[in-house]
Each structure stands twice: as C-alpha cells, then as structure tokens.
Amino acid sequence: MFGAYPQVMDSETEKTLVEYLVHCNDMYFGLSAKETRGLAFDLAKKLNLKVPASWEAARMAGEDWLSSFLKRHPTLSIRKPEATSLARATSFNRTNVERFFALLRSLMDKHHFQVC
C-alpha cells in the first residue's frame, strides 16, 4: 500500500510499465501525463487488476496515482504537450538525426520490417 490508497499494481507490473515508457521515450514518442494515466488504466484492466471506481469513471488512472508513480520512479520524465520550442527546433542536428536513424535501423532489423 502506498499512501492512503491501496496499490493497484505490484512492483513487477510497475517495472514493466516503466520499461515501456522509457522505450517509447527512446523512440522519440514520449507519452503525456494523460496518455500515461490511460495506459496505466488499460494495463490494469488487461491484467484484471482491481481499480478504484474513479479510474473506471474516467477510464484512466487518477492524477494522485500518477504523482505517486512518478515519485516512486524519479528517473521518468512525462512529456507536457506544447508548441515546438526553440530548444526542440535546435535539437534537430546531425547527432540527433543520426541517432534517430540508428534506432530506426535497429527496429527495422529486429522486427524484419520491409521498406515499401
């Protein structure tokens, strides 16, 4: 149990969720807070875990769950939707583009995708 609410996911399930979020981020597809909460709800339902009624009503985990989850996993960074910033625009450079295509190549090789 964490805080005043019963724990919905055990540590192993949370670890799997953390690994997935990190994987998404590594592929330049970081999830927003709302998307993370929706994913947590979907995962809990898929695993037939008991979820609070507030999760059922909203079809996503609560903001309090997300806050606690991020405190338990401080290495995570959840994306905030925003317009393209100067920092993001200037990160479009040779090093980052090469990293992107290296990741793309490794995924294509791993999953045997064919170029159309």
- Determine contact, residues 31/39, Cβ cutoff 8 Å: yes
pLDDT tens-digit series, residues 58-87: 999 999 999 999 999 999 987 665 555 666
CA 50 to chain centre: 21
Backbone angles phi, psi at 5, to 5 degrees: -110, 145
User: How many other CB atoms sit within 10 Å of the CB of residue 42?
Assistant: 13
- CA–CA gap between residue 25 and residue 52 (Å, rounded): 28
pLDDT tens-digit series, residues 20-70: 999 888 877 888 899 999 999 999 999 999 999 999 999 999 999 999 999
pTM exceeds 0.75, yes or no:
no
Could you identify the residue written with the tokens 């991020």? 70
**pLDDT band for position 4 (50/70/90)?**
low
Backbone angles phi, psi at 48, to 5 degrees: 55, 40
